[in-house]
Amino acid sequence: MRPEILNPIFAEIEALKGVGPTLARPLAKLGISRVVDLLFHLPTGMVERRRVERLDMADAGRGVIVMLVAQSYKSSASPRGPFRVQASDAEGNHVSLVYFGGGGGWARKQLPLGEPRIVTGRLDLYGQELQIVHPDQVAPLEEAGEIVEREPVYPLSAGITSRRIAQMVVQSLDRVPPLPEWIEPSLLAHRGWPSFAEALIRAHQNPSDEIARTRLAYDEVYANQLALMLVRGATRRRKGRPLVGDGRLRDKLDLPYAPTGAQSRAIAEIEGDMAQMQPMLRLLQGDVGAGKTLVATMALLAAVEAGAQGALLAPTEILARQHLATLQRQLAPLGLNVAILTGREKGRVRESTLMGLADGSIDILIGTHAIFQEAVAYKALGLVVVDEQHRFGVAQRLMLAAKGSHPPHMLVMTATPIPRTLTLANYGEMDVSRLDEMPPGRQPIETRVIALERLDEVVAGLGRHVAAGGQAYWVCPLVEETDNDDSAAEARAASLKLAFGDRIGLVHGRMKGGDKDAVMAAFLVGQLSVLVATTVIEVGVDVPNATLIVIEGAERFGLAQLHQLRGRVGRGSQHSRCLLLRGNALSETSRSRLALMRESNDGFRIAEEDLRLRGGGELLGTRQSGEAGARLADAVQTAALIETAHADARLLTDRDGGLEGPRGQAALTLLYLFEREAAVALLRAG
């Protein structure tokens, strides 16, 4: 149960005065449905205005507060054109107040002719005339005292203004109760941090108050570290099932090459973990092509040798089916029953799979989120391998841990090299194995950056590549930052079809799973020469004959994503190339990114540099689903604070009496404040 002290800030947003269904809708688009969401919706900047008696060209480019009188109205010939209000100050200096859209009715109402009004907004020069486009505020003279000179600017959605949010924030801050302090006293004193409530007030009043914002970021990072530590402790205390294989299946496996030193080391660490009574929680980090799948296969076989079932969880249906094909091919001589379960399996096929899992006749199950569902019961689930884990949150890991009479061992694989600090942030409850060697035969990929004006040359080169029997990927960015705008990929596929005919395939996010898989299968067997795609091919697709990838609009991708995409080629023994097509408007960050891609194939170096260049934002590219994302701490703050937060969480659990002591009770409030109560629930259940 959430502590009662937090109830005032976990109230619905409609509890605030003046907030009804009309205002709740635009707030919901911003992810604000409760008072606490508004408190964590921090401003991104400040508007500063000067009070002036008279208009002056020297003030162009600044915010002003001035008394004006409307003299005349001027409509545009076009219904979509601007509506202008000609106005003048006390000394007769003229300014044009410009409104776009709406036909001028609102402007006439706000600014009746001949009546003085206080107007605020940014004063600009338009030719030799002064103008204010869409004044921020227009108020009668008697309300002049209510207009402020400094005002925070909030992220907005249609239907709400920054000022309205600021007014609601004032109400919300009044609801923040005095909370007990959860930060270790000497750390608090050393950093000079204010209390949580004071930090919130200061962060809303002044977006550049670094001390206040850092304190709030620390609270979030600390809550996450403490939750992960509690999850780890609770999992360690639960009794699992020791799994020790006898090697009979692994000895029969026909390997394409002898495992690298890094693979052998990871396999030994995993075998050691699985032999323990405590369930394994291990992260397997390996660059693209470092051979994680082989390590996972060995772990699954060890589980089956020990009389248990294994499950492999993939983030997409494409990848799940690819894993199925690979494992069925590899394990066919061993006589194992490998099955698949995704949202697409229906009717008798699904029933048959569920029965096979329950009676133990299925040895290894591969699937997507469908394998989480309540209806899926295993006879003896011993090991779960999660592929591309950053698509799954801690909440899903807990859900998996509850499957079966004993919590299964868990191996999480990620091909996104993650800087050490962020490994701690996202996988703090896990032991880590790193594959930092490449299997024999993997060649570095030649990477070139090419201006978009040379598109014709690139298409001609693609033609020569295809004529010689090669295959290629062509990746397009999303035109809008929404997951369903695949127009760029559709247009590119259409233009390439004009040049090369029906040997061009297209996959994108809006296609149905079956259609997508059919195109991928045609590409895999060589019926298609070029696969045009959005980033749906980023993860795991394996076509050794594809030795060329063209990434269009490369400056619009993050470094880690570019590296992932490049890893689609170089999977066979042939020389591979990656062409990064860039536009002309390059920022310094984009320039640095593309230069690093050209000179390095080292995913771990690229990840560290990505963190440095990107700063804030979603570092892993996809927010973890199934749990609250970071709202107050960006990636740079997380990296700077994580070690301290980890050490402080350990201090609390090891020295300060855990959650039972006074600081522990305060920390419990913190966990509920940042909605990490899944960790608390697990602790109580464990």
The pLDDT score that the predictor gives to residue 4 is: 93
Cβ–Cβ < 8 Å for 566, 288 = yes
The pLDDT score that the predictor gives to residue 625 is: 29
Same fold, 240-435 and 446-600: yes
> What span, in angstroms and rounded, lies between the C-alpha atoms of 294 and 409?
18
The pLDDT score that the predictor gives to residue 623 is: 32
Which CATH architecture describes the domain 446-600? 3-Layer(aba) Sandwich (3.40)
Which of 402, 397, 395, 394 is closest to 378 using CA atoms? 402
Kindly list the distances between the CA atom of residue 603 and the CA atoms of 134, 217, 318, 435, in Å, as whole numbers in the listed order.
48, 28, 24, 11
Confidence of residue 48 (pLDDT cuts 50, 70, 90): confident
Mean pLDDT, residues 251-266: 90
> What span, in angstroms and rounded, lies between the C-alpha atoms of 313 and 365?
8
In Å, the largest CA–CA distance within the chain is 96
> What span, in angstroms and rounded, lies between the C-alpha atoms of 514 and 343?
11
DSSP three-state, residue 370: helix
> What span, in angstroms and rounded, lies between the C-alpha atoms of 377 and 402?
11
pLDDT tens-digit series, residues 616-669:
333 333 333 233 456 888 777 887 898 899 889 988 887 766 778 888 899 999
pLDDT tens-digit series, residues 97-122:
999 876 688 889 889 999 999 999 99
The pLDDT score that the predictor gives to residue 620 is: 32
pLDDT cut 90: percent of the chain above it: 42
The pLDDT score that the predictor gives to residue 429 is: 62
Cβ–Cβ < 8 Å for 383, 299 = yes
Query: Does 246 score more than 90 pLDDT?
Result: yes
Domain ranges of the chain: 1-44+162-177, 47-153, 240-435, 446-600
The pLDDT score that the predictor gives to residue 7 is: 94
The pLDDT score that the predictor gives to residue 148 is: 82
Count CA atoms closer than 13 A to 251's CA, side-chain side: 5
Mean pLDDT, residues 508-533: 85
> What span, in angstroms and rounded, lies between the C-alpha atoms of 162 and 41?
11
DSSP three-state, residue 652: helix
Pull the structure tokens for residue 66. Answer: 């001035």
Confidence of residue 363 (pLDDT cuts 50, 70, 90): very high
Confidence of residue 440 (pLDDT cuts 50, 70, 90): confident
DSSP class of 34: B
> What span, in angstroms and rounded, lies between the C-alpha atoms of 195 and 476?
47
Pull the structure tokens for residue 543. Answer: 């076509």
Query: Does 482 score more than 50 pLDDT?
Result: no
479 or 110, greater pLDDT: 110
Confidence of residue 298 (pLDDT cuts 50, 70, 90): very high
> What span, in angstroms and rounded, lies between the C-alpha atoms of 285 and 413?
6
492 or 373, greater pLDDT: 492
DSSP three-state, residue 339: strand
What CATH number was assigned to the domain covering residues 1-44+162-177?
1.10.150
Query: Does 77 score more than 70 pLDDT?
Result: yes
Mean pLDDT, residues 452-458: 93
Cβ–Cβ < 8 Å for 459, 499 = yes
- CA 58 to chain CA mean position, Å: 44
Q: Choose the weakest-confidence range: 211-220, 455-464, 521-530, 676-685.
A: 676-685
Report the interhelical angle of 420-427 vs 635-654 (nearest 10°): 60
Cβ–Cβ < 8 Å for 304, 336 = yes
> What span, in angstroms and rounded, lies between the C-alpha atoms of 680 and 662?
16
Cβ–Cβ < 8 Å for 284, 297 = no
Mean pLDDT, residues 60-67: 91
The pLDDT score that the predictor gives to residue 227 is: 85
Element (H, E) at 95: strand 94-100
- CA 502 to chain CA mean position, Å: 36
Pull the structure tokens for residue 601. Answer: 């194939």
Query: Does 400 score more than 90 pLDDT?
Result: no
> What span, in angstroms and rounded, lies between the C-alpha atoms of 138 and 99?
13
Ramachandran angles phi, psi of 401, nearest 5°: -65, -25
Handedness of CA 666, 672, 678, 682 (dihedral sign): positive
> What span, in angstroms and rounded, lies between the C-alpha atoms of 468 and 43?
56
> What span, in angstroms and rounded, lies between the C-alpha atoms of 239 and 232?
13
What is the bridge-based pairing of β-strands 530-533 and 471-475?
Answer: parallel
CB atoms within 10 A of CB 570: 25
The pLDDT score that the predictor gives to residue 237 is: 75
Mean pLDDT, residues 385-414: 69
> What span, in angstroms and rounded, lies between the C-alpha atoms of 73 and 109?
12
Please provide the average confidence, as pLDDT, over all residues in the chain: 85
> What span, in angstroms and rounded, lies between the C-alpha atoms of 94 and 107?
17
Mean pLDDT, residues 44-59: 88
Overall pTM surpassing 0.95 (yes/no) = no
DSSP three-state, residue 498: helix
Kindly list the distances between the CA atom of residue 89 and the CA atoms of 94, 109, 143, 207, 278, in Å, as whole numbers in the listed order.
7, 19, 18, 33, 77
Q: Which CATH superfamily is domain 47-153 in?
A: Nucleic acid-binding proteins (2.40.50.140)
Cβ–Cβ < 8 Å for 557, 551 = yes
Burial 335-370 (b: 16+ CB within 10 A, else e): ebebbbbbebbeeeebeebbebbeeeebbbbbbbbb
Confidence of residue 78 (pLDDT cuts 50, 70, 90): confident
> What span, in angstroms and rounded, lies between the C-alpha atoms of 562 and 328?
31
Cβ–Cβ < 8 Å for 473, 546 = yes
> What span, in angstroms and rounded, lies between the C-alpha atoms of 630 and 640?
15
Q: Choose the weakest-confidence range: 39-43, 236-240, 485-489, 542-546.
A: 485-489
Query: Does 485 score more than 60 pLDDT?
Result: no
> What span, in angstroms and rounded, lies between the C-alpha atoms of 25 and 158?
10
**Which CATH number applies to 240-435: 3.30.565.10, 3.90.1580.10, 3.40.50.300, 3.10.20.30?**
3.40.50.300
Q: Which residues contact 524 (CB under 8 A, 6 or more apart)?
A: 543
